[in-house]
A = this chain, B = another copy of it.
Amino acid sequence: MINVGVIGYGYWGPNLVRNFSEVPGSRVAAVCDQQPERLVQLQARYPIIKTTTDPYDLYKDASIDAILIATPVSSHFDLAMKAVHAGKHVLVEKPMTATVEQGERLLEEAARCQRVLMVDHTFVYTGAVRKMKELVETGQLGQLYYYDSVRVNLGLFQHDVNVLWDLAVHDLSIMDYVLNARPTAVAATGMAHVSGQPKDLAYLTCFFDSNLMAHFHVNWLAPVKVRRTLIGGDRRMIVYDDLEVSEKIKVYDKGITLNNGQDQRYQLMVGYRSGDMWAPQLESTEALRRESQHFVECIEKGQQPLTDGEVGLRVVRILEAATHSLAQRGRPLEMHWEGAVA
């Protein structure tokens, strides 16, 4: 039985508590939040869980095996470092840390202490994203052309991070998993419309070694909610609409065909191919349930999580570079990866 402690009982914490309470092999021993009224709410629902406003109570509790961190980004590094240092396994909200440097230090410390470090890239555990991964990996899309995502709505302003760190982080974690490719350069444009607040609208392009390209549109000030990703390949194309209730993934048997024209000296003829559309049935297990189970198993079996610290750090690297480009109106910035796969 893995005993977990949760730090942060705001928006996401209650979901962690519910899932780790119900997953076989784990139980929630204690919850920490700085706002006592949240802890009152918790106790009304879960009277057996201990509560505290001081995270040290969790670190020093020898019965606690793992710490789940669901606080604002700026506090992730400090809380996670202390938890690892105290010998706890850690599951931290995305983005993993506020800077690349913090991420690198956290990875080192987790390795040194031999603790499991996992990042809560929840979407990676959804049926929809897993299906896209499968379609890409089995070559059903053919050679990849582009990855294009839109994630906009009238959303809560985050005061400590810009819209890329709040919204694009989801899409970058999905792309990292589905494409398994590292951008060689990024360029981002964006704007802040409220004085003194972070940028609320941004567009991010990722370049790759191949002629694959990725683009992300995120916006806190849109009148309608859109959650749509297009992935284009030369054999098939995907539309992933997360707002669809039952047909989130549509696979289009469409593409282009290339033929030499009558007069080969002059031009290649570009033709269009159209076919069936297909919406595969998706696994309906709640993503966080699957993820919670995975975290528990990784601890029990000493395995590396699917969304480990390396993955978390890759996403932070892109966010950091994008934020730099954003300040320079889209000037492209090179990305360097050690042992990069693509």
Q: What residues make up the interface of A, taking CB atoms closer than 8 Å to B?
A: 45, 47, 145-146, 148, 150, 152, 154, 157, 159, 185, 187, 189-197, 201, 203, 205, 207, 211-213, 215, 217, 219, 221-225, 230, 232, 234, 237-239, 243, 245-247, 250, 252-256, 258, 267-268, 270, 272, 274-281, 328-332
Contacts and interface: CB of A to CB of B under 8 A. Distances in A.
A18 to B, nearest CB: 10
A223 B237 contact: yes
Contacts of A222: 230, 232, 237
Contacts of A154: 254, 256, 272, 274
A223 B232 contact: yes
26 contacts: A145-B193, A145-B201, A145-B221, A146-B221, A148-B219, A152-B230, A154-B256, A154-B274, A159-B267, A187-B187, A189-B205, A189-B207, A191-B213, A192-B211, A194-B256, A194-B268, A222-B230, A223-B238, A224-B239, A225-B245, A274-B281, A276-B278, A276-B281, A278-B278, A278-B279, A330-B330
Contact of A331 (B146, B148, B277, B331): B331
A157 B267 CA distance: 12
Contact of A187 (B189, B268, B279, B281): B189
A323 to B, nearest CB: 15
Contacts of A331: 330-332
Closest 3 CB pairs of A and B: A187-B330, A223-B252, A223-B237
Nearest to A325: B330
A243 B217 CA distance: 21
Given A203-B205, A274-B281, 9 more contacts: A47-B47, A189-B332, A193-B234, A207-B329, A219-B232, A223-B232, A223-B237, A243-B245, A331-B332
Contacts of A276: 278-281
A185 B331 CA distance: 12
A161 B240 CA distance: 30
A195 B330 contact: no
A175 to B, nearest CB: 16
Nearest to A201: B146
Contacts of A274: 154, 281
A330 to B, nearest CB: 4
Given A201-B145, A254-B223, A193 B211 contact: yes
Contacts of A280: 276
A189 B267 CA distance: 25
